[in-house]
Protein backbone atom coordinates (compact mmCIF):
# COMPACT_ATOMS: atom_id res chain seq x y z
CA UNK A 1 0.00 0.00 0.00
CA UNK A 2 2.78 2.42 0.89
CA UNK A 3 4.70 1.69 -2.35
CA UNK A 4 1.57 2.37 -4.42
CA UNK A 5 1.19 5.77 -2.73
CA UNK A 6 4.82 6.67 -3.42
CA UNK A 7 4.52 5.70 -7.09
CA UNK A 8 1.33 7.77 -7.48
CA UNK A 9 2.90 10.75 -5.73
CA UNK A 10 5.95 10.59 -8.01
CA UNK A 11 3.72 10.31 -11.07
CA UNK A 12 1.79 13.39 -9.99
CA UNK A 13 4.91 15.40 -9.10
CA UNK A 14 6.48 14.50 -12.45
CA UNK A 15 3.75 16.53 -14.14
CA UNK A 16 5.25 19.79 -12.83
CA UNK A 17 8.52 19.75 -14.82
CA UNK A 18 6.70 18.17 -17.78
CA UNK A 19 4.26 21.07 -18.07
CA UNK A 20 7.03 23.65 -17.60
CA UNK A 21 9.13 22.01 -20.31
CA UNK A 22 6.15 21.70 -22.65
CA UNK A 23 5.46 25.42 -22.27
CA UNK A 24 9.02 26.02 -23.46
CA UNK A 25 8.60 23.79 -26.51
CA UNK A 26 10.21 20.61 -25.16
CA UNK A 27 8.85 17.06 -25.06
CA UNK A 28 6.19 16.57 -22.38
CA UNK A 29 6.63 12.79 -22.25
CA UNK A 30 10.40 12.82 -21.94
CA UNK A 31 10.33 15.38 -19.17
CA UNK A 32 7.60 13.43 -17.40
CA UNK A 33 9.84 10.34 -17.38
CA UNK A 34 12.80 12.44 -16.30
CA UNK A 35 10.71 13.96 -13.51
CA UNK A 36 9.37 10.58 -12.42
CA UNK A 37 12.84 9.18 -11.79
CA UNK A 38 14.82 12.33 -10.91
CA UNK A 39 12.25 14.95 -9.88
CA UNK A 40 14.53 17.60 -8.30
CA UNK A 41 16.93 17.60 -11.24
CA UNK A 42 14.11 17.62 -13.79
CA UNK A 43 12.47 20.59 -12.10
CA UNK A 44 15.72 22.57 -12.11
CA UNK A 45 16.40 21.66 -15.74
CA UNK A 46 12.87 22.56 -16.82
CA UNK A 47 13.17 25.98 -15.19
CA UNK A 48 16.62 26.69 -16.64
CA UNK A 49 16.23 25.50 -20.24
CA UNK A 50 15.72 28.11 -22.91
CA UNK A 51 12.53 28.10 -24.99
CA UNK A 52 12.84 26.65 -28.49
CA UNK A 53 13.01 28.96 -31.50
CA UNK A 54 9.31 28.37 -32.25
CA UNK A 55 8.30 29.44 -28.74
CA UNK A 56 10.59 32.48 -28.85
CA UNK A 57 8.96 33.60 -32.11
CA UNK A 58 5.66 34.08 -30.33
CA UNK A 59 3.97 30.73 -30.89
CA UNK A 60 1.87 30.96 -27.75
CA UNK A 61 -1.51 29.68 -26.76
CA UNK A 62 -4.26 32.29 -26.74
CA UNK A 63 -4.78 34.12 -23.49
CA UNK A 64 -8.07 32.88 -22.05
CA UNK A 65 -7.99 34.99 -18.91
CA UNK A 66 -10.86 37.33 -18.20
CA UNK A 67 -10.39 41.04 -18.90
CA UNK A 68 -9.71 43.19 -15.84
CA UNK A 69 -12.81 44.47 -14.10
CA UNK A 70 -14.07 47.97 -14.76
CA UNK A 71 -13.61 49.91 -11.51
CA UNK A 72 -15.46 53.04 -12.61
CA UNK A 73 -18.44 53.10 -10.29
CA UNK A 74 -21.45 55.36 -10.79
CA UNK A 75 -21.67 58.35 -8.48
CA UNK A 76 -23.31 57.66 -5.12
CA UNK A 77 -27.08 57.99 -4.87
CA UNK A 78 -28.18 61.41 -3.65
CA UNK A 79 -31.59 62.26 -2.24
CA UNK A 80 -33.26 65.30 -3.71
CA UNK A 81 -33.54 67.81 -0.82
CA UNK A 82 -36.92 69.02 -2.05
CA UNK A 83 -38.40 65.58 -1.23
CA UNK A 84 -37.09 65.50 2.32
CA UNK A 85 -38.90 67.40 5.07
CA UNK A 86 -36.34 66.76 7.80
CA UNK A 87 -38.09 63.87 9.53
CA UNK A 88 -39.24 61.42 6.89
CA UNK A 89 -39.52 60.97 3.17
CA UNK A 90 -42.63 62.41 1.52
CA UNK A 91 -44.11 59.97 -0.92
CA UNK A 92 -46.11 60.93 -3.93
pTM, full prediction = 0.58
pLDDT attached to residue 51: 86
CB 83 within 8 A of CB 89: yes
d(Cα 40, Cα 27) in Å, to the nearest integer? 18
Residue 26's SS3 state is: coil
pLDDT, tens digit (0-9, with 9 covering 90-100), for 11-45: 999 999 999 999 998 999 999 999 999 999 999 99
What are the extents of the domains in the chain?
A: 1-59
Amino acid sequence: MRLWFIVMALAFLALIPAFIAEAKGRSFHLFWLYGFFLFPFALIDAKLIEPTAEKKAGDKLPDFRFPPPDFRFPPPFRIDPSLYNGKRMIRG
